[in-house]
Amino acid sequence: MKLDEFDYVLPSELIAQHPPTERGASRMLTVDGATGSFRDGWFRDLPRLLEPNDLLVFNDTRVIRARLIGRKATGGRVEMLVERVLDDHHALVQLSASHTPREGSWLQFGGDLLVEVLSRHGEFFQVRFDSEAPVLDLLEQHGQLPLPPYIEREDEGDDATRYQTVYADKPGAVAAPTAGLHFSEPMLERIAQTGARSVFLTLHVGAGTFQPVRVDDVTEHRMHAERYQIGQDVVDAVVETKSKGGRVLAVGTTSLRALEAAAARTGTLEAGGGETNLFILPGFKFKVVDRLLTNFHLPKSTLLMLVSAFGGLDTIRRAYLHAVQERYRFFSYGDAMLIERA
């Protein structure tokens, strides 16, 4: 399976640089993986595509202000992206500077925040925040929202709310579960009125979601691990939904990865938590999810490979070509796609 099989041509002007004026005012391309057909519509149409026994599974992770700009002790500029908060004083981070900071060196952010570089682990560094305040509080004070690299601007005032789902609850992500950005409180109420149920799990999205695939044979790529937690209420809701002939709709690739990773361990979905580096490629056997709501993803990305596995490689290729021709908006602040499993 070659990387070029997941490439497509995307005009740069179709990459959404800002969210739509109103949350949920997006288009939605509905794709039937079984028949290969697709149709144009709007995200507001979602409730009428649900049945009373259906289940929606959301990711309630909250994006932290994980990006910090500062100086090394030598005066050189350094950018730090927190990948994972380890405890109140330690974190795993990515560092970008003209010369890589050494172990034992100090970095300064926001005038008075000092961070010590403890050790290196591949492309990550373990650091210690020299403060009595917890790391999450320090990030809230000194950090910036880590907007994706394809959004070519600094974060602005409304990004603090719009690059966060309305149900975000558990801090720990460095990127938003973007399919959830379409949902407003009124939309969640409309969904509840259909009789469909909603449950929440947590998967903290890491910076690895933007990691490029650097090998031609995609099966050689290794995913970064991400933490997830699935409650017994989610498991019970999935079992009940399946028993009544309903469909499990994963809101976002992160919800899907958490569900399928948890089911892959024993073959049956079980409550609990852990880390997953599950890499979903065409040929993957899905055990839990029947429908997927997602955004449009980067060429040659692992997320495009995931949706190709779910909807069928040829069908997704044609759907993306159609989306480009019809001028859909792409990536985090872009439009949505609802996929029925192939």
Straight-line distance from the first to the last Cα atom of the chain, in angstroms, rounded to the nearest whole number: 19
3-state SS, the chain, equals CEHHHHCCCCCHHHECCCCCCCCCCCEEEEEECCCCCEEEEEHHHHHHHCCCCCEEEEECEEECCCEEEEEECCCCEEEEEEEEECCCCEEEEEEEECCCCCCCCEEEECCCEEEEEEEEECCEEEEEECCCCCHHHHHHHHCECCCCCCCCCCCCCCHHHHCCCCCCCEEEECCCCHHHHHCCHHHHHHHHHCCCEEEEEEECCCHHHHCCCCCCEHHHCCCCCEEEEECHHHHHHHHHHHHCCCCEEEECHHHHHHHHHHHHHHCCCCCEEEEECCCCCCCCCCCCCCEEEEECCCCCCHHHHHHHHHHCHHHHHHHHHHHHHCCCCECCCCCEEEEECC
pLDDT at 208: 75
Interacting residues of 274 by C-beta distance below 8 A, sequence separation 6+: 227, 228
pLDDT recorded at residue 122: 87
Gap between the Cα atoms of 189 and 47, Å rounded: 10
pLDDT for res 120: 95
Q: What is the pLDDT of residue 213?
A: 93
The predicted structure's pLDDT at residue 238: 98
Rg (C-alpha) for the chain, rounded Å, is 20
pTM attached to this predicted model: 0.95
Q: Rounded to whole angstroms, how far apart are CA atoms 73 and 257?
A: 41
Scan for tokens 């699935």, then name that residue. 230
Q: What is the pLDDT, as a whole number, of residue 111?
A: 79
pLDDT of residue 245: 97
**Residues of the chain below pLDDT 70:** none
CA 16/CA 295 separation, integer angstroms: 11
